[in-house]
Structure 1
Amino acid sequence: MSQSNRFLCTNGVVSPSPDTPPVTTLLEAHPGAYTTTRTHNNGSELLFWGRHLTRLSNSTKILLTTRPKLLFENPDKNGAPFLGFLTRSVKWDSVIEALVNDSIRKLFPTALKERKCKEELAITALVSGNLEKLSNSGGEFDEESISEFLDVYLHIAGYDPPLYGIRGNGAHLAVVGPGRDVANAKYSDWVRLRKSLEKLRPPSITELLLSNDGDRILEGCLTNFFVICLKDNNEDNNFAEKKGLQTFRSVEIQTAPVADGILPGVIRQVITQICLQIGIPLREVAPSWSQRELWVEAFITTLGCYSMLIQSKFRTHGNQWNQKHGRR
C-alpha cells in the first residue's frame, strides 16, 4: 500500500500523509492499548465503533491496574503513587471516547476523500501514557486535564476486504505457541512479541493459533477461534452421523472462555450474542484437538473478514509441545 493511503492524527494534530508510517511501525514504536476496526458499505459506516471504544477503554484500565509498563511511555517509578488514584477516579470510558472521537472528526473526512475509489478504510486507535509527565504534575490534575498524560494516535489506511465464497480463500492454520500474557487486553507490544511466532509460520499458513498444551486451542494471533462440533455423549450423535445430519440438537459451537486467557474480540461478542438470541447452542470451552473427530466445521473471526471457514488441517508439535514452548 502506498504512503498516500495512510493518515495519522496524534493528540488531535494531523500529520502530513507522506510522513505516516505503516500501522505496525506505529504500534511497535509506542506502548499502549489499541483497537482496530474498518469501514463498511463504501466507507459509509464504522463497524461496531461503540464496541471498539469500550474495548479500548477496558484494555487501558486492565493495563493500568495489572501491567502499567505495557501502557506508559518512558516509565518512571516516581509516577507510581498516582496510578491508584487514576484507576479509582478517572471515568476512562468518557475520557477515551472524547479523545478518540475528536481525532476521528479531524482525520476521517480527509482519509475518506483521498482514498482509492470504493476502497474501505482500516482505523486503528492507540492510547499510550506518559508516566514521566504524570509524575511531574505532582498529582495535581482532574478528569479534564488527564488527556495531558495520554497520547492518542489515530491511524487510517486503505483496506481491501477479502472476497467471500471463493474456493481456496479459506483459512489455513497452525498451532505454534502458548497463550498471551494479559490476554484480556489488546496492547501494542503484542505486535512485537508475536514476531517470534511468525518465524514458525509454514509458507501456506494464513493464521497462527495459540495453545498452552498443544491440545486445547485458545485463539489466533489476530483472531478468535470457533468450532462447530457434535455434542459429546449425545444420543442424537449416532443418528446424526449416520444420516449426515447436523441439527441444533446434535451440534454446538465451542470457543475458549475469556478466563482461559483470550482476548474478548468484538466479533466474538457479536457471535455469542447472536447464538444466545436465536437459540444456537454455544459452550465456552477451549476446543480440543484430541476430540477433532467430533468437529463438523471450524472458523475464525476478525474485523477484516468477520468470519472465515477453516480450509486446511492444523499442525501441532505433538508430544514435544511442553518441552519446546513451555507454559506461562
Structure 2
Amino acid sequence: MLTDKDFCRLGQAVIDTEASAVAALKSRINAAFATACRLILACSGRVVVLGMGKSGHIGGKIAATLASTGTPAFFVHPGEASHGDLGMMTADDVVVALSNSGETAEINQLLPVIKRRSLGLIALTGNPSSTLARAADAHLETGVDREACPLGLAPTASTTASLAMGDALAIALLDARGFTAEDFAHSHPGGRLGRRLLLRIDDLMHQGDAIPRVTADTPLSETLVEMSRKGLGMTAVTGPEGEVIGIFTDGDLRRALDKAVDVHTTTAEAVMTAAPRCIRRGLLAAEALATMERDRINALLVVDEHARLVGALNMHDLLRAGVV
C-alpha cells in the first residue's frame, strides 16, 4: 500500500522528468526554429496542424494558441484528411505536423499531397532521421531522454515538450506580428480578460437623466432626494456650464449629520467634497476600476475634455459588467 509520501514522491519525479524535457528544448531553438517562424509569417493562408492520438490533442491546443495570438490556424485529424478533409487545405497554407516517432502512417501518407501542393511543412518529431523530419522544410526536434511514465510507454514528457515548442512558436510569432493585448481581447470577447480590455466607461456609465446631479445652491434636502432617486450613493454638484465642482456622497451625508446641519437651509456646496476624483470618458472600464481601488472610493463622475459632467458609475456597475 502506497503512503501519502510515496504518492508525492512519484508526482515529483514526473514533474522533474518533464521539466528536464522542456529545459532541453532551449538548445534546439535554432536556425530551424527561425525558418519555421518565417514560413508561417510568409503564409497568406492558415496554419494546418496535424497529429494522431496524444499528439493530436497537443496539436489541437497548438492550433488554438496560434489562432488566439494572431496566426490563423486549425487542426485537421490525419485519419480524416485522407477521406475528404484535405479539401480544407489551400495552396496558401502551411502545415505543422506532430509525430514523436516521425513515422506515423496517417501523417506520412499525406506527405505526397503536401509536397504536390507545394505547401510549407514544419515537423515536430523526436527523431531527426525519420521520414517526416526529412520531408519537412523545418524540423523542430522535440525528443526526450525518457517518458515520465515508468513503463516508458504513455506519451508524457514527449507531449509536454511538443506543447512547449508549439507555445514557443506561437509567442515568437505574436511578437513578430506586433500583436497587442487589445488584439488578444478581440479574439476573446466573451471572457473576463476580453471585458477588461474592450469595455469602455461609456458602455457602462449612467447618462442623461440617469446621472445624479444638483447645483451648488440646491438645498441638502433636495440633494438627498436626488441621491435616493438615482440610486448611486452620491450625486454630482455642477456649475453653471455643467462643469463638476464637487460630489456629495453617503460619507458626506454622515459627516453633515454629525454636525447637526439643517437639511432645509444648508446647500449642497456647503457640505460637498470639492474637486472630486473624476475620469475622462472613452477610457477603459478597467481604468475606472483601478482608480476606485487606488483611491478607495465606490463611485466616479465621468467628464468630457472640458470637465463637464457626462456620466457616472459605481462599483456595482463594474461588478455587473464582469470587469471586477
Name the structure with the higher helix share.
2
TM-score (norm 1): 0.23
Larger Rg: 2
TM-score, structure 2 as length reference? 0.23
Give the structure with the larger strand fraction.
1
Query: Which fold has the larger relative contact order, with Cα–Cα distance below 8 Å and residues 6 or more apart in sequence?
Result: 1
